[in-house]
């Protein structure tokens, strides 16, 4: 399947808005990072045929606002980030992002295109190693309240089985979590009745 890249002309600084693993600064080398909010999009779990397991994406929703991280893309060189987000389109979103920067940069958000994603299944579950990385990022950027808000503002938990791969992480950018971070993730998953699969 070919994924179309939206044509975006960047007149000044270029930034991305991350709402999943990109919120965890340990998973990338992009600097000048700042917390931000994205309006008009809702975060949701989805599977796409370009990947074996389920990941987060965003879908349009005028009533939604989600927390995330913006970071600059040096030299407007999107090649590495486009490769990392290879199942996603890159979409202009500066007019929908609230941030603390003094200037108004161009900002893009990555989203799996409509019609190319489906609900996760036991065959295509989310990875606990991926959830861990995402929540570690939200804990660091937004604290426990913000990490709980991540769970509350992400759709699809009730339909998304999570594969426990902590002992042998499948997610390529997995990170080591502290005991407190693991406990936080486990508590949130348990309290929300999220189904955990064992390998």
φ, ψ at 68 (rounded to 5°): -170, -165
Statement: the pTM of the whole predicted model exceeds 0.85: yes
Domains in the chain (CATH in brackets) are 14-198 (3.10.490.10)
CA-to-CA distance for 144 and 136, rounded, in angstroms?
10
- Specify the pLDDT at position 174: 96
Beta strands in the chain (DSSP E): 14-18, 34-46, 55-72, 89-92, 97-98, 106-111, 126-127, 154-155, 162-164, 196-198
- Residues 44, 55: contact at Cβ < 8 Å? no
Low-confidence ranges of the chain (pLDDT < 50): 1-11
Residues across the chain: 199
Helix axis angle for 179-191 and 128-152, nearest 10°, is 60
């Amino acid at each position: 399947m070919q994924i179309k890249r939206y044509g975006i002309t960047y007149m000044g600084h270029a930034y991305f808005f991350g709402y999943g693993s990109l919120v965890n600064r340990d998973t990338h080398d992009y600097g000048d990072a700042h917390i931000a909010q994205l309006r008009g999009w809702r975060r949701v779990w989805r599977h796409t045929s370009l990947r074996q397991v389920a990941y987060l994406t965003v879908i349009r929703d005028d009533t939604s606002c989600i927390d995330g991280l913006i970071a600059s893309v040096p030299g407007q060189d999107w090649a590495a980030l486009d490769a990392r987000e290879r199942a996603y389109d890159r979409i202009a979103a500066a007019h929908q992002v609230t941030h603390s920067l003094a200037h108004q940069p161009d900002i893009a958000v990555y989203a799996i295109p409509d019609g190319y994603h489906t609900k996760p299944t036991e065959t295509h579950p989310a990875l606990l190693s991926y959830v861990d990385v995402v929540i570690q990022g939200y804990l660091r950027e937004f604290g426990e309240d913000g990490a709980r808000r991540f769970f509350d503002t992400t759709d699809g938990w009730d339909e998304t089985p999570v594969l426990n791969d902590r002992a042998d992480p499948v997610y390529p950018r997995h990170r080591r979590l502290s005991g407190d971070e693991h406990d936080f993730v486990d508590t949130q998953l348990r309290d929300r009745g999220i189904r955990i699969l064992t390998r």
